[in-house]
């Protein structure tokens, strides 16, 4: 006697096939290659409308990129912004300091199990500190020096960031049309920036941030002051470690120097005149970043950033960072639709020091006929 049994079927959970992963990587690589092959002039990709606005904003020192790591990646940093200098790129990024490797969506080869955020070694735990201190020295073009100091501290609710920056030049001799070689008198020029940032992670994959900052510019006997605001958001998409950053930087009222100046009309008559007020260099930034390749020893992070400044044409920035063993970093970046600073590169080193992770970063930016700019950053994470 035969007994017929009903065959049981089991529904297996969906798993991404090796072929699927390979196809997706090829698509990403093709996209990146296509972007990289855009003509250097970028005239075919971007509208040149906006070029006529060059030089129409006040306090241009606010546009100087801060942080060697960020500039080494071509300034494509709004969607990374996870170090002591995050507030200069995206104020929401200061909430990502402790989420750089161990977050829910971040690529982390040291995770023991999916969903476990705790690192598996003392060295890895030390790197994931949520407090940071950073100092950067910038040798800017025309022998201009720029120094910045930043500190990030978590609060019971949210994260606090403090930034201080100053720009200075050597004293310059006064020249006139009758004394082109100098009058024997000297004047100085300098800028100062004070910033207070606050960021709040609303969920595991979304945070927002705001920076209130005071800017001051001094030229000879004239000073100009302004209060500005930065706004930013940071979003982990849930696809691998792809994240998107959006920021509105240097937003505020028009400003002009205090006092008045002596003007000469076409008839040679002198009279006192007020200065004209100009807008700050407000800029809208949108970007993304993702680990394109990663193993326990090797990792490559790619990023892009679209910029819309009020005083220039739109531009696109591309950046990449190769990491070896979480300690050695090689970086490069390229900028499209910019006049002189087309490419940059740099390197970094992260080492343990007295229970903290110390990072030393260097960047070099080529400015063509304007020579070059170099940055050296030192940061502590604990």
Q: Which domains, from first to last, does the chain contain?
A: 22-261+281-381 (2.40.160.40)
Give pLDDT tens digits for 4-14: 443 343 333 34
Name residues of the chain where pLDDT drops below 70: 1-55, 99-128
Q: How far apart are alpha carbons 2 and 25 in whole angstroms? A: 53
197 close to 161: Cβ distance less than 8 angstroms: yes
Residue-level pLDDT at 41: 42
List Cβ neighbours of 317 (8 Å cut-off, separation of 6 or more).
Answer: 74, 75, 76, 287, 304, 305, 307, 333, 334, 335, 336
pLDDT of residue 11: 37
What is the pLDDT at residue 1? Answer: 40
Cβ burial of 215 (10 Å; 0-12, 13-18, 19+) is: buried
Give me the pLDDT at residue 112, please. 39
Instruction: Output the pLDDT for position 245.
Output: 97
Rounded to two decimals, the pTM is 0.80
Task: Report the distance separating Cα 278 and Cα 91, nearest Å.
Answer: 25
Three-state SS at 267: coil
pLDDT value for 272: 77
pLDDT at res. 125: 53
Tell me which residue of 166, 164, 199 sits closest to 81, measured CA to CA.
199
Cα of 326 vs its chain's centroid, Å:
21
What is the pLDDT at residue 25? Answer: 53
Separation between Cα atoms, residue 137 and residue 275, nearest integer Å: 33
pLDDT digits (tens, 9 = 90+) for 69-92: 999 999 999 999 999 999 999 999
Give the pLDDT score at 340.
77
């Amino acid at each position: 006697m035969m007994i017929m049994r009903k065959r049981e079927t089991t529904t297996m959970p969906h798993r991404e096939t090796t072929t699927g992963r390979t196809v997706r990587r090829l698509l990403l690589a093709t996209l990146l290659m296509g972007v990289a092959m855009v003509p250097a002039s970028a005239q075919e990709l971007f509208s040149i409308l906006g070029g006529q606005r060059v030089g129409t904003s006040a306090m241009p020192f606010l546009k100087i990129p801060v942080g060697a790591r960020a500039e080494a990646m071509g300034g494509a940093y709004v969607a990374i912004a996870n170090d002591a200098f995050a507030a200069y790129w995206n104020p929401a990024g200061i909430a990502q300091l402790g989420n750089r490797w161990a977050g829910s969506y971040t690529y982390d080869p040291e995770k023991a199990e999916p969903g476990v955020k705790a690192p598996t070694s003392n060295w890895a735990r030390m790197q994931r500190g949520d407090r940071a201190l950073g100092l950067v020295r910038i040798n800017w073009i025309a022998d201009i020096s720029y120094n910045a100091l930043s500190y990030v501290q978590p609060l019971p609710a949210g994260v606090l960031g403090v930034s201080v920056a100053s720009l200075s030049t050597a004293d310059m001799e006064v020249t006139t049309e009758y004394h082109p070689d100098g009058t024997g008198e000297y004047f100085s020029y300098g800028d100062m920036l004070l910033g207070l940032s606050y960021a709040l992670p609303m969920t595991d994959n979304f945070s927002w941030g705001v920076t209130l900052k005071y800017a001051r510019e001094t030229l000879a006997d004239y000073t100009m002051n302004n209060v500005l605001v930065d706004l930013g958001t940071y979003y982990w998409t849930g696809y691998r470690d792809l994240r998107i950053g959006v920021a509105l930087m240097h937003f505020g009222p028009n400003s002009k120097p205090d006092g008045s100046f002596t003007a000469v009309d076409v008839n040679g008559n002198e009279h006192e005149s007020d200065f004209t007020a100009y807008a700050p260099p407000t800029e809208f930034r949108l970007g993304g970043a993702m680990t394109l390749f990663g193993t326990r020893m090797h990792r490559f992070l790619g990023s892009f950033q679209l910029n819309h400044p009020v005083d220039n044409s739109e531009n696109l920035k591309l950046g990449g960072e190769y990491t070896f063993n979480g300690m050695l970093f090689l970086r490069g970046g390229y900028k499209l639709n910019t006049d002189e600073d087309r490419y940059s590169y740099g390197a970094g080193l992260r080492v343990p020091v007295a229970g903290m992770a110390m990072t030393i970063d260097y960047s070099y930016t080529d400015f063509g006929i304007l020579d070059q700019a170099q940055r050296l950053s030192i940061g502590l994470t604990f």
